[in-house]
Structure 1
Amino acid sequence: MDHASAQQHPISLYLKVWALLFVLSTFSYLVDYFHFQGLLRWLLILVFMAMKATLIVAIFMHLRWERLALIYAILLPPLCVLVLVALMAIEGDYTFLTRATFFANGP
């Protein structure tokens, strides 16, 4: 078996993933159709977006068949950045609330 035939994946896999992406996109449009509001709306949209992005990266970009070290090298830095952004958002919120409390009392 040569190298080119070893890297071939069945077309049915790609068709199933495409159909699943279509279903997930339909669900994300239904969130707006049913007029979900507030935190639930954004949570559902972000969950569907993350699921679609994971499928695209894993299957269409062939990350599923890569070595674990390469997967970690690609996925861990953005994950670390997201954790740091979340920590800084929490810190910024704390700082804003502390200043608002201090300056609300007046001189």
Structure 2
Amino acid sequence: MAAAHAAAHSASHSASPTAHEGQQHPVRVYLVVWGWLFVLSLFSYLVDYFHLQGVLRWGLILLFMGLKAALIVAVFMHMVWERLALALAILLPPVAVLVFAALMAIESEHTLWMRQTFLGVGD
């Protein structure tokens, strides 16, 4: 009984690809991603070309930068084909840092407002 189980276990592992063999993805996937990266870079360039200013400018630049980074991480770093647990372990800490940095920026604006209002500092 144990020998049959061991034989079935080894047969199931020999039929599946090992981790050392790796995966091959169609070249079309990479070409499409390169195309999207080119288009997003063009949009980033157009933000400067049309002389957009203020929050709109920085919002668009950050949006295009984030989209390009997401494409690179997903496809070229093969994150889209990883297990969910591994992807979350790699991606959640930077997202948490960004959220906490945004909260600190909001807090700093509030602190500055309080100091200007009640202490007359920084006028």
When normalised by structure 2's length, the TM-score is 0.79
Distance 2:103 2:17 in 1: 49
Q: Deviations over 1:19-69 (max 9, x none)?
A: 110111001000000111111111110100000000000000000000000
Query: Structure 2 stretches of 5 or more lacking a match?
Result: 1-15
Match for residue 20 of structure 1? 36
- Secondary structure of the equivalent of 1:13? helix
Distance 1:62 1:9 in 2: 10
Match for residue 86 of structure 1? 102
Query: Structure 1 stretches of 5 or more lacking a match?
Result: none
- The code of the aligned residue for 2:44 comes to S
Match for residue 62 of structure 1? 78
Name the larger-Rg structure.
Answer: 2
Match for residue 12 of structure 2? none
When normalised by structure 1's length, the TM-score is 0.90
Which of 1 and 2 has higher RCO (CA within 8 Å, sep 6+)?
A: 1
- The code of the aligned residue for 2:27 comes to I
Compute the RMSD of aligned alpha carbons. 1.6
Tell me if 1:43 matches 2:92.
no
Distance 1:40 1:90 in 2: 19
- The code of the aligned residue for 2:25 comes to H
Tell me if 1:77 matches 2:77.
no
